[in-house]
Chains A and B, each alone.
Chain A
Amino acid sequence: MNTLTAFTYETYWMGLRTTRRFFRVPSNWLSIIFFPLIQLLVFSQLYKDIVQLPAFGHQSYLAYLAPGQIVFASFLAVGWSGYGMLVEYRNGYLDKLRASPIARSSILAAEMVPLFFEAALMAAVLLVVSLLLGASLVTGVGGALLILAMSGLFGIAFAGVSFIAALLTKSEQAASALSLLMFPVVFISTAFVPRAVMPGWMQGVNDWNPVTFQIEAIRRLMLVGYDWPAIGKAVLSLLIVGAVLQTGTLLAFRRLAR
């Protein structure tokens, strides 16, 4: 077996294991979709008249909220993803893998690759529920697939936050705390209100917020059509964020599991 085949083989079978680990604990994925679902359901009713603000620019608050909650779901899907590895470092399972005749990189890949699918799946749940509640998806199936692919990419890009926190601090509390720092990034985005309605300083922040780029691209896909510049911007920012955070993760992992 050559190196690439070996890597793929190892990542596949170990990836199945980490995927099972995720789905076999219902509280994992239930708690991931719970918060965005609640926000979607409750805020769309509670704040529905917000669309009447002059600069708002949309008719339905539900339709406006949906993209933000889809992104929120993919974000939460990976928010604590570093935990699993930390637990396995602690209980010696990681040592067992390290003593096996496999590439060290496939150990990390087996954690990351499933996250793409988990993030996409959680996003899919939110997408479907939004559509059931009346949101529209003008780009149809093609747009849906693109949204899910982008959500998967978003997951992999941001998983690094959790992994770096967990692997560097080796502490669940610290990892939690550091992951929570990501929440303001999401809340400050255009998930809840358009840029036009925000105070000046928030508008400035959102010129650089990859979460906002992602939300806007998805919003366009749902409400308008294939806005390739917006999609391109989102994907590019995710690739940059992903490259930085995954490199950090790789370094932290190497330090932990030489």
Chain B
Amino acid sequence: MSTGLHIPGPDVDAARAERESVIEVRDLVKVYGRDTRALDGISFDVGHGELFGLLGPNGAGKTTTIRILATLLRPTSGLARVAGFDVAAHAHDVRERLGLAMQTPTLDAFSTGRETLELAGRLHRLSAARLRRRADELLELMGLSSVADKLTGTYSGGMKRRLDLASALMHRPPLLILDEPTEGLDPQSRTALWEELERIGAQGTTMVLTTHYMEEADRLCSRLAIVDNGRIVVEGGPQELKETVGADSVVLQLEASDGAADDRVGAVCRRLEGLVPCEAVGEHPAGVVLAVPNASAAVPQLMRRVDGDGLRITGLQMSQPSLDDVFLKYTGRHIREEAADQPIVMWG
């Protein structure tokens, strides 16, 4: 998609940026009607150049937070500042520094790609010369040069999203806000967009995105906040958060003839005495499942102890905790109740 074209990064006073947070949110509350608390006291900071994620199920309050930051919604109480400007009192200043790409691409079907970018640039007061050049650069970057003069109504879903992202970038905003950036995209388009966002982040643009896809948060975010029911449940880097779950999961597949499930648990437990506590050994349809910190280092010893003398290991599966496990730990629920996005793992 990209030809490795280098385009200049965001329009930011670097020295000042180092000192200040790009986003400051304190005790943000949003109440709809009389008693619907969409946001119940959210606080977080985003520093210059960070790729910050809000991860959580639908209805958690992620989009509400984003809309308040984007000056589309007024908070009921609390504080939200973007680039030092209050979103309620200085909305205009915030808007000058913001690029926004919402969940569904917001395009005028009867404008061409180029016209869309040029209008976005004009509304941000880009000069005519810069306008043309910048639109050309972005069209090239997003692989849309060949369809630049076609109506956006004729674009595919992936193309619309790329154009939407390009239009958010026209004025080189210091902050890019993305709401569910890859929602509904096929896997290839999703990966391509992730690569594009990584490139943009690498150039120094601060990004805030909301998502309910763990893989997206995992891959893109340098830091994330898990949101549930209008509150931030826990915050940290993806790896850091996964480590709080404490243990990897190891499934030892045992031969069926080795006895009933609870016998197997007991047998394995005895053999792993001293290495793995019995509470960490659980039942599993294919054998047993163990919760083991730093499993990859422990596996050789586990296998030596368990295998042999009546028990036969026929296979092994190891998985590190996922962000869903983190969510489960802190809220008692899965991010997506339907588990439609869970990987399908074949058992023995």
Contact = CB atoms under 8 A, between A and B. Distances in A.
A95 B123 CA distance: 14
A20 B102 contact: no
Given A20-B111, A91-B106, A101-B92, A13 B123 contact: yes
Interface residues of B, number: 26
B95 A95 contact: no
Contacts of B107: 93
Interface in A5-32: 9-10, 13-14, 17, 20-21, 24-25
B72 A99 contact: yes
B26 interface: no
Contacts of B123: 10, 13-14, 97, 100-102
B119 A99 contact: no
Interface residues of A, number: 23
A102 B119 CA distance: 12
Contacts of B122: 9, 13
Contacts of B104: 91-92
Given A92-B102, A99-B98, A101-B124, A24 B151 contact: yes
Given A91-B104, A92-B104, A99-B100, A20 B110 contact: yes
Contacts of A17: 108, 111, 115, 119
A24 B110 contact: yes
Contact of B106 (A13, A20, A96, A258): A96
B320 interface: no
A258 B72 CA distance: 8
Contacts of B93: 101
A96 B110 contact: no
Given A17-B115, A20-B115, A95 B108 contact: no
A254 interface: no
B262 interface: no
Given A13-B119, A17-B115, A96 B102 contact: yes
B286 to A, nearest CB: 47
B325 to A, nearest CB: 34
A154 to B, nearest CB: 25
Interface string B239-263: 0000000000000000000000000
Given A96-B100, A100-B95, A21 B119 contact: no
Contacts of A100: 95, 120, 123-124
Contacts of A99: 70-72, 95, 98, 100
Interface string A77-95: 0000000000010011101
B96 interface: yes
B125 interface: yes
Nearest to B122: A13
A258 B67 CA distance: 13
Contacts of A13: 119, 122-123
Interface in B67-119: 70-72, 74, 92-93, 95-96, 98, 100, 102-104, 106-108, 110-111, 115, 119
A48 interface: no
Nearest to A102: B123
Given A99-B100, A101-B124, A14 B119 contact: yes
Nearest to A258: B74
30 contacts: A13-B119, A14-B119, A14-B123, A17-B108, A17-B111, A17-B119, A20-B115, A21-B108, A21-B110, A24-B151, A25-B110, A88-B108, A93-B108, A95-B102, A95-B106, A96-B106, A97-B123, A98-B72, A99-B70, A99-B71, A99-B72, A99-B98, A99-B100, A100-B95, A100-B120, A100-B124, A101-B95, A101-B96, A102-B123, A258-B74
Interface of A: 1, 9-10, 13-14, 17, 20-21, 24-25, 88, 91-93, 95-102, 258
Give the top 6 A-B pairs by smallest Cβ distance, nearest first: A92-B106, A101-B95, A96-B106, A100-B123, A101-B96, A21-B110
